[in-house]
Amino acid sequence: MKLILIIEDEQHVAAFISKGLKEEGYDVLVAYDGQTGMALLVQNQVDLIILDIILPGMNGLEICQKIRSEGHRDIPVLMLTALGTTDNVVKGLDMGADDYLTKPFKFKELLARIRALLRRKNLSEVTKEVLSIADLQLNRNSKTAIRGGNEIQLTATEYRLLEYFMRNQKRVLSRIDLLENVWDINFDLGTNVVDVYVNYLRNKIDKSFEPKLIHTVIGMGYVMKT
Ligand code: CA
């Protein structure tokens, strides 16, 4: 399920968008100011941000710039602007927003924009040639990993596991999830195999390096993050 973060101080507008999106099957987080929004962004695997420009404290333009400068480059940002504020729109797009919508808008229009942005994001994730986190890079064409300038040899299974981790950074992945997506099986082989391979991978990409990238989440699985 896709997670959408709404940063909008007008509570009735936020509630209206949130309710509509939930009815469409999206997960939704709401923040009434930029600081709360940034905190939610760091704690969750957000797929798209709906960002109002006029907010108390940090405005939408500043937030957008902060989102981009703090490494969340791939999350689409849809800006909400008031009528007659074309200057803001231009600035917003300069700051890294992907699209904008002028208030008042039809909910259908908002939905269409969201779908288009998520489609574009999916496409770029699927086709992106080099995935990276910290000083680790994975080249999907040559199927090689490099960390701290050292080339790391991976077996086919280790490669698929690493690729899946890198595509799902900051998301806690259960052993079942890994088993289904990396080993491509949907019956329970026993999840031991996952732990064994995560260990192999850790020895190769984490053991001699800092910061550690693969973390155990007790009782839940694993997460890749810095
Ligand atoms: Ca506002």
Which of the listed residues 72, 98, 127 is the one where a domain comes to its end? 127
Average pLDDT over residues 188-211: 89
* DSSP β-ladder status, 48-52 and 77-81: parallel
- Rounded distance from Cα 112 to ligand 1 centre (Å): 22
For residues 153-182, give the mean pLDDT. 90
Write down the H helix ranges in 70-188: 86-94, 107-127, 156-167, 175-182
Same domain, 7 and 101: yes
Residues 118, 215 share a domain: no
> H or E stretch including 53?
none
Quick one: pLDDT at residue 72? 72
Residue 148 has pLDDT above 60, yes or no: yes
| Count of domains observed in the chain | 2
Residue at a domain's end among 127, 162, 188: 127
Per-chain residues with Cβ under 5 A from ion ligand 1: 9, 52, 54
Give the distance between the most distant pair of CA atoms in the chain: 60
Are 9 and 120 members of one domain?
yes
From the list 187, 210, 212, the residue with the least C-alpha distance to 198 is: 212
Same domain for 191 and 116? no
Question: Separation of 65 CA from ligand 1 center, angstroms?
Answer: 17
Per-residue confidence (pLDDT) for residue 93, from 0 to 100 = 83
Ligand 1 centroid distance, CA of 167 (Å): 33
CATH number at residue 217: 1.10.10.10
Whether residues 66 and 22 share a domain: the answer is yes
Q: Tell me the average pLDDT of the chain.
A: 90
Q: How far is CA 160 from CA 77, 127, 140, 145, in A?
A: 29, 15, 10, 12
- pLDDT over 70 at 175, yes or no: yes
What six digits make up the tokens of 20?
A: 């509509």
Q: Domain boundary residue among 127, 151, 179?
A: 127
- Full-model pTM: 0.64
Q: Ligand 1 centre and the CA of 189: distance in Å? A: 51
- Whole-angstrom distance, CA of residue 152 vs CA of residue 205: 7
Query: Does 55 have pLDDT greater than 80?
Result: yes
Distance from residue 151's CA to the centre of ligand 1 (Å): 49
Q: Does 145 share its domain with 67?
A: no
Selection from 71-85, 88-102, 150-164 with the highest mean pLDDT:
150-164
Let me know whether 21 and 51 are in one domain: yes
Give residue 183's domain range.
130-224
**For residues 134 and 67, what is the distance between their CA atoms, to the nearest angstrom?**
17
Same domain, 52 and 123: yes
Model confidence at 187, pLDDT cuts 50, 70, 90, reads low
Ligand 1 mean position, distance from CA 16 (Å): 14
What pLDDT sits at residue 122?
77
